[in-house]
Homo-oligomer: A and B are copies of this chain.
Amino acid sequence: MRPSGRHFLQIPGPTNTPDRVLRAMSAPTIDHRGPEFAALTRELLDALKPVFGTTGPVVVYPASGTGAWEAALVNTLSPGDRVLCFETGHFATLWQEMARRLGLRVDLVPGDWRHGVDPDEVAARLRADGAGLVKAVLVVHNETSTGVTSRVAEVRRAIDAAGHPALLLVDTISSLGSIDYRHDEWGVDVTVAGSQKGLMLPPGLSFNAVSDKALRAAETARSVRSFWDWRPVLEANARGLFPYTPATNLLYGLRESLRMLAEEGLSTVYARHLRHAAATRSAVRAWGLEVLCADEREHSASLTAVLMPDGHDADRLRAVILERYDMSLGAGLGRLAGRVFRIGHLGAFNDLMLAGTLAGVQLGLVAAGVPVKGSGIDAALERLQQP
């Protein structure tokens, strides 16, 4: 039995899927080889481009985001290739572990999980690689485990400054559609994304936006690949088809969510996320708690990770909040387990949903006996009075 009223799904994704998207998804499945489907494919492939900030192709996988990580690697790299990775958090760590499993050699820059990728470090590392052994730089744009957003444009400039030919592969799983992102302008080679965050869909779709340089790399890359291979997808897409059965009903939902983003306007969407993130940090500080992200330039607009005071367990807090207030918050992952909780404020969201969310955290902190300095909700509302 579910408690009364709506559940607050405030993990940093999957997000609160709009009922409009859920209704779109509940239309009957159609023939994926018929003319109606071809029209859908073409509409989607066009409508995706502005969200990625690209005029190039976007490959859509009927698979969740982890698959699109794998696709980015196996399409562009060969076994034994060296990739430069940054330990910015749990998902960055998982991605480099995947790279190792796929036979790549990983140069890992360690990190404290409170900062994003350091563009200076990128420059230094690449300058040191005169032989051009590093084939790709892997960056997680928005670390879902820490609430830290790396400055991808600056990373790009660092690579350019080093005059290095490495590909730039960027994970935008928890930023795309929530945080300003520019695949073309920033010279990203592969952008990895998923459906269940800013795109406001359930999980089950993932994406690779692909630069010309990446397409060229794919021609020579020797990683074994079949399902993830871009080439048959791009070839079939040109005819409105997919090389294997697409996830039709999720594509219906995607059509609807892309329309919603276009209606609201991407710049409005990004501003909304920034404003909610600022209000959330106001609340956290008013409670006397610490935001995990340690660099003012890198606060995530889509989620906020909060450090628990010593002696208090974040998972117990989350359990209390789930039990008493029917809200799901994100757990601390990996080395942050038990030490942080994460508030998702992304996707289909608004001021009053945020207020309810922060009220739930505040009530939960009190109920769990975590010392609270002041009213976070008041601080947040003060921030929300401003545009």
Contacts and interface: CB of A to CB of B under 8 A. Distances in A.
A226 interface: yes
Interface string A1-28: 1111111110101111111101101111
Given A245-B64, A350-B325, A70 B226 contact: yes
Contacts of A103: 224
Nearest to A329: B31
Interface residues of A, number: 96
A227 B260 CA distance: 31
Contact of A28 (B1, B22, B378): B22
Nearest to A36: B2
- Copies of this protein chain in the complex: 4
Nearest to A269: B4
A29 interface: yes
Interface string A193-206: 01010000011100
B62 A203 contact: yes
A381 B364 CA distance: 11
Interface stretch (A51-59, A122-130, A211-219, A351-359): A351-359
Interface of A: 1-9, 11, 13-20, 22-23, 25-35, 61-67, 70, 79, 98, 101-103, 194, 196, 202-204, 223-227, 229, 243-250, 260, 263-264, 269, 272, 322, 324-328, 331, 348-353, 355-357, 359-360, 362-363, 366-367, 375, 377-378, 381, 384-385
